[in-house]
Structure 1
Amino acid sequence: MTEWLSDLKSGYCSRTWYLNEEFCCWEAEPGMCVDWHKWSNFAPFSFLFYTYFAVCSHPVGCLYSKVLFAFTSAFLVKSWAPYAAGSGISEIKCILAGFIMKGFLGARTLLLKSVGLPLAIASGLSVGKEGPSVHVAVCAGHVVSRYFRKFETNAGEMREIYSASCAAGVAVAFGSPIGGVLFSLEEMSPNFPQSTMWKSFFCALIATAVLSAINPFRTGQLVLFQVHYDRTWHSFEVIFFIIIGIFGGLYGAFVIKWNLRAQAFRKRYLSQYAIWEVVFLALLTAVVGYFNVFVRVDMTEALGSLFRECNGMKDFNGICNPSESWWVAISLFLAAIIRTFFIVISYGSKVPAGIFVPSMAVGATFGRFVGTLVDMMQRSYPQSSLFSACVSDISCITPGTYAFLGAAAALSGIMHITVSVVVIMFELTGALTYTLPCMIVLGVTKATYAYFEKGGIADRMIWFNGFPFLDNKEEHTFGIPVSHVMVRDVTYIPASGLKLKDVESLISQSTYRGFPIVSDRESRYLAGYIGKREIKFVIDRAKRSRPIDPNALCYFSLSDEPTLYDPSIEHFQIGTSSSSSLDFAKFIDPTPLTVHPRLPLETVMDFFKKLGPRVILVEEKGHLCGLVTVKDVLKYEFKVENAENPRDNTVVGEMERKLWDRTITFAKYMKAGWEGRRTTPDDRDSLELDEQIPLTL
């Protein structure tokens, strides 16, 4: 669907309307396809059709037409499934760590993300489908598991299903089952026991088997970019491999830094114009990218062309023509810059959007640029000592391998992963000859981005959105006990003495998910823990079976009899509820996770990372002292980091304000110009550019 919509911007298949250009011209010789018709052979008209299909469905314009690709995708997300925006990887990492996001993995998100994703990609935005494929796969795992009570009531089993679904999503997206398992292990899951690895492998295996049976590429293979590099690499190329590795690290640091600033600007000023922002980005990408073929074509198609060798292969815009090497090199360099810019401003917009393939496209473009320059140098100076290893060979450089290494470097730089990238790239291309160069490039990339950033784009998005997530990759030494971080003013429930109306008032006014239970208010002896969901369940079940007096006593005691006995209650039975009492004993956790106030904070953080509890209670000699959550730990961590590295955001804020003011001014003048074409000269002179003019893009 994505490829058909992407090719629809340039033409259509007269033989079968739903085929893209590749399948429409499957049996035709290059340049001899009669079934594929372009909208126009006149360059200006082709440009208009290209931009029009990226944004609108009628050549009259967007104002009075039914908007397609970009608008439809953004409208679906904005109106029906807000959680379908973005890639979803950062949120899934938090869910695997124990964070609950209701609706994020629901059936509506699954359906609308599956529909909106091809539309967003076909609009030409610099976004990919591989990251969102992980979200789609986890949504599928969540929806299916809801039909089995065994999984629905077991948080540990659900986390294993989510981890396996992540592996299946990457396996299908890249045709890389082993890479999917390693990606789930390295990037997604905070805990990955042996049983989870086997389930992830089995799930990825089934997913790729189904993909192989469907045979979407009509090649009988799972790999997207099958290459056969028949030349080996030479020792002098290590210098250029290091350059590519440095580029990968710098690319990751640059995109992460400026994308977060773009996200902040979007969140502060453009939250009310999410749909029109996406339409504007699609139009801008189409207008700018049309004039560079490496940006204009679909990113997957561009990657396949950049990876290929030139021995007997179909040329792609001169990349295999030595006489056009300078022009190709300039185009590749500009394409890398343009694509990077659009990734910075597009990733995070309110459409389903990934960053894997766009980053790989940037890396492959830069890598092919470096490979083209090295090939030109070797052809121009074959007798140089630098190229002494290939004097006997007129052309011993394979620029496609540089593109392959550049794609791996950029993907590693943006995600801050290494091992899974190596496996994914090898399964994606089959280029096992370049194992050592790939490891060298990724090693340099890791060293480079570690100097600038301490987390990949997913980790930084978690930090930006304020999700309660503790990264296993980070190590901290605070040197303080947990008592410095814990919440001392705890909302607790006494074991007895509360009336039903008091309990209902407590759970309705409180935002907490659960409450510690103490023996009484004076001693605060810890007796257990109960969740708000369980309290509501008991109350609702009791009200459905019989009328309940609002003054009925509620017992949260685990002892043989209630702590307080009311003589007025006749025929009261232990462990049961009546019209005058409610017993919550069966739903109390008698052994909640507790720690001593003097326990080091680092140990408590390890508990959160490895066990994934929502809350840890702090008690001393059985008495409740406080509680601590992940948010409490993160607040202290950010406080320490801000004290050590204070930041002055006034300059950035002033730049954002000036940019927004200029955007407002431009929009006003555009609005005034449009209104001026429909008014008389006298009306045009009296038109005032004030805040009352509706803001449109």
Structure 2
Amino acid sequence: GLAFSGLTPLSCPQEGPMIHSGAVIAAGISQGRSTSLKRDFKIFEYFRRDTEKRDFVSAGAAAGASAGVCSWVRGVLFSLEEGASFWNQFLTWRIFFASMISTFTLNSVLSVYHGNAWDLSSPGLINFGRFDNEKMCYTIQEIPIFIFMGVVGGILGALFNALNYWLTMFRIRYIHRPCLQVVEAMLVAAVTATVGFVMIYCSRDCQPIQGSTVAYPLQLFCADGEYNSMATAFFNTPEKSVVNLFHDPPGSYNPMTLGMFTLMYFFLACWTYGLTVSAGVFIPSLLIGAAWGRLFGISLSYLTKGSIWADPGKYALMGAAAQLGGIVRMTLSLTVIMMEATGNVTYGFPIMLVLMTAKIVGDYFVEGLYDMHIQLQSVPFLHWEAPVTSHSLTAREVMSTPVTCLRRIERVGTVVDILSDTSSN
């Protein structure tokens, strides 16, 4: 499903489905049997316990995250921050081992694919290129600007989550039949392709190919020797589009092009997330943020009369981090993956600052996208903190009389009768 969905015009990154696949595989391995095939292989019976299955799922999610970005650190931190509901030292090395093996296997396969079976240093599936420290330095006066971008990312992320919540509620109520789900996926793909062509035709943002860093320029509706920057942003893979927004020189994009692209891609990505296709939200969030971040950088450069520190690529990076943090509300793992994907440790502090600001602002309005969908799917998940409404409750307010008691050793029939007659369980 992931391989074929990547060929559609839909915004379908691989990280989310990879995490899901890793968790599913780990859960099946821990049980040593298949409910789909209705076969019991009589292996791993020792792990057929809820605690072991939970740990295996956490390790599988970490392995999937590591394979999605070719980074074992990303897998461990994702499982720590989002994937695991329980943590101890024993689980740490399990997840670390699974992430390392996953990363090594991916490197091996990519090395064979690129024609060098002995080279195990492939950059992975997500690599946004290195930023030049000399050209991309930041100063103390830019810290408030980064914080402001975090606020914008938190607000836009909250809007994205709120719109997706109402859209998901509509899907649960009215688009629950498989045939309707297939029709919806086809409709979204058709609308995405149509909107893309219309935007390319209307924008006519033509840039000279000479001196451009775009690997595969698209000439659509432009003269010879020129390429269409809107087409480059829309019809490249999302990863390549993010790289272009990060590293293209100033003047490569018209501000109107970036504004139109941000607006349209924001709503299309919101509509796409939740379809019955293998899709996630990681790369689309980065692409949306990189687009409005670069637009912000262009505006800032214009207001400061072309100051050398107002580089559009730098603000595209900050915007990408702000948008992603405002939607998924992760901080630690996203800081690490943004530093790894760009090969720049210098921006660790501003990226962390932007992510923290986006999370605080976004949490003020609505919860994160992952937590929201956990509730929408009615998954029994115990949160770290009790609800705010429970802080003033007393035991008397939640108990009833007479008290139902069980002996230390009780008959099964008695337990069944008590559970059947009690409505509080």
Q: TM-score, normalised by structure 1?
A: 0.49
Deviations 1:469-490 (A, max 9, x none): 2211454414232883689999
* Post-superposition offset of 1:191: 0.9
1-structure distance, mates of 2:287, 2:411: 51
Task: Report what 1:201 is aligned to.
Answer: 96
Q: Is the CA contact 1:485–1:628 (under 8 Å) kept in the aligned structure 2?
A: no
1-structure distance, mates of 2:66, 2:411: 41
Does structure 1 residue 320 correspond to structure 2 residue 320? no
Does structure 1 residue 468 correspond to structure 2 residue 380? yes
Computing the radius of gyration over CA atoms, which structure comes out larger, 1 or 2? 1
1-structure distance, mates of 2:317, 2:330: 17
* Post-superposition offset of 1:205: 0.8
* Post-superposition offset of 1:283: 0.3
Q: Which runs of 5+ in 2 are unaligned?
A: 33-42, 115-120, 201-229
2-structure distance, mates of 1:297, 1:142: 35
- Alignment counterpart, residue 238 of structure 1, candidates 143, 162, 173: 143
Task: Report what 2:221 is aligned to.
Answer: none
1:289 maps to amino acid: G
- Alignment counterpart, residue 182 of structure 1, candidates 62, 77, 80: 77
* Post-superposition offset of 1:281: 0.5
Task: Report what 1:349 is aligned to.
Answer: 275
2:275 maps to amino acid: S
Does structure 1 residue 255 correspond to structure 2 residue 157? no
Q: Is the CA contact 2:31–2:45 (under 8 Å) kept in the aligned structure 1?
A: no
Deviations 1:531-580 (A, max 9, x none): xxxxxxxxxxxxxxxxxxxxxxxxx79xxxxxxxxxxxxxxxxxxxxxxx
2-structure distance, mates of 1:182, 1:361: 22
* Post-superposition offset of 1:627: 7.8
Does structure 1 residue 296 correspond to structure 2 residue 235? yes
- 1:320 match: secondary structure: coil
* Post-superposition offset of 1:440: 1.8
Inter-CA distance 489–288: structure 2 relative to 1 (3 Å threshold): farther
Task: Report what 1:368 is aligned to.
Answer: 294
Aligned ranges 1:111-510 → 2 under 5 Å: 116-147=1-32, 148-215=43-110, 218=114, 220-222=122-124, 224-231=127-134, 232-272=137-177, 273-290=180-197, 291=200, 292-293=230-231, 294-308=233-247, 319-320=248-249, 322=251, 327=254, 329-378=255-304, 381=305, 395-453=308-366, 455-476=367-388, 477-481=391-395, 484=398
Q: Is the CA contact 1:250–1:449 (under 8 Å) kept in the aligned structure 2?
A: yes
Bigger RCO of structures 1 and 2 (CA < 8 A, at least 6 apart): 2
Inter-CA distance 363–265: structure 2 relative to 1 (3 Å threshold): same
2-structure distance, mates of 1:344, 1:376: 31
Inter-CA distance 376–141: structure 2 relative to 1 (3 Å threshold): same
Q: Which has the higher helix share?
A: 2
1-structure distance, mates of 2:242, 2:129: 11
* Post-superposition offset of 1:121: 2.8
Inter-CA distance 483–282: structure 2 relative to 1 (3 Å threshold): same
* Post-superposition offset of 1:447: 2.1
Inter-CA distance 529–260: structure 2 relative to 1 (3 Å threshold): farther
* Post-superposition offset of 1:441: 0.9
Inter-CA distance 487–246: structure 2 relative to 1 (3 Å threshold): farther
* Post-superposition offset of 1:166: 1.1
> Which range moves more in the overlay, 464-473 or 410-419?
464-473
Aligned ranges 1:608-619 → 2 under 5 Å: none
1-structure distance, mates of 2:4, 2:401: 47
2:278 maps to amino acid: P
* Post-superposition offset of 1:211: 1.4
Q: Is the CA contact 2:30–2:52 (under 8 Å) kept in the aligned structure 1?
A: no
2:169 maps to amino acid: A
1-structure distance, mates of 2:400, 2:65: 39
Q: Is the CA contact 2:63–2:98 (under 8 Å) kept in the aligned structure 1?
A: yes
* Post-superposition offset of 1:149: 2.5
Q: Is the CA contact 1:177–1:201 (under 8 Å) kept in the aligned structure 2?
A: yes
- 1:432 match: secondary structure: coil
1:303 maps to amino acid: V
- 2:260 match: secondary structure: helix
Q: Is the CA contact 1:127–1:354 (under 8 Å) kept in the aligned structure 2?
A: yes
Q: Is the CA contact 2:31–2:53 (under 8 Å) kept in the aligned structure 1?
A: no
Q: Is the CA contact 1:175–1:428 (under 8 Å) kept in the aligned structure 2?
A: no
2-structure distance, mates of 1:446, 1:403: 18
Q: Is the CA contact 2:19–2:61 (under 8 Å) kept in the aligned structure 1?
A: yes
2-structure distance, mates of 1:137, 1:286: 31
Number of aligned residue pairs: 368
Task: Report what 2:214 is aligned to.
Answer: none
Task: Report what 1:536 is aligned to.
Answer: none
Aligned ranges 1:23-172 → 2 under 5 Å: 116-147=1-32, 148-172=43-67
2-structure distance, mates of 1:473, 1:337: 36
- 1:233 match: secondary structure: coil
Q: Is the CA contact 1:250–1:448 (under 8 Å) kept in the aligned structure 2?
A: yes
Q: Which runs of 5+ in 1 are unaligned?
A: 1-115, 309-318, 388-394, 491-517, 519-523, 531-555, 558-591, 593-614, 619-623, 630-697
2-structure distance, mates of 1:447, 1:154: 37
Q: TM-score, normalised by structure 2?
A: 0.78
Taking only aligned residues, the RMSD between alpha carbons, in angstroms, comes to 3.0
2:360 maps to amino acid: A
Aligned ranges 1:523-534 → 2 under 5 Å: 525=407, 527-528=409-410
Q: Is the CA contact 2:58–2:83 (under 8 Å) kept in the aligned structure 1?
A: yes
1-structure distance, mates of 2:56, 2:182: 34
Task: Report what 1:506 is aligned to.
Answer: none
2-structure distance, mates of 1:488, 1:355: 50
2:398 maps to amino acid: H
1-structure distance, mates of 2:96, 2:353: 28
2-structure distance, mates of 1:160, 1:248: 33
Deviations 1:421-463 (A, max 9, x none): 101111222121111211221122122112212x211111122
Inter-CA distance 628–296: structure 2 relative to 1 (3 Å threshold): same
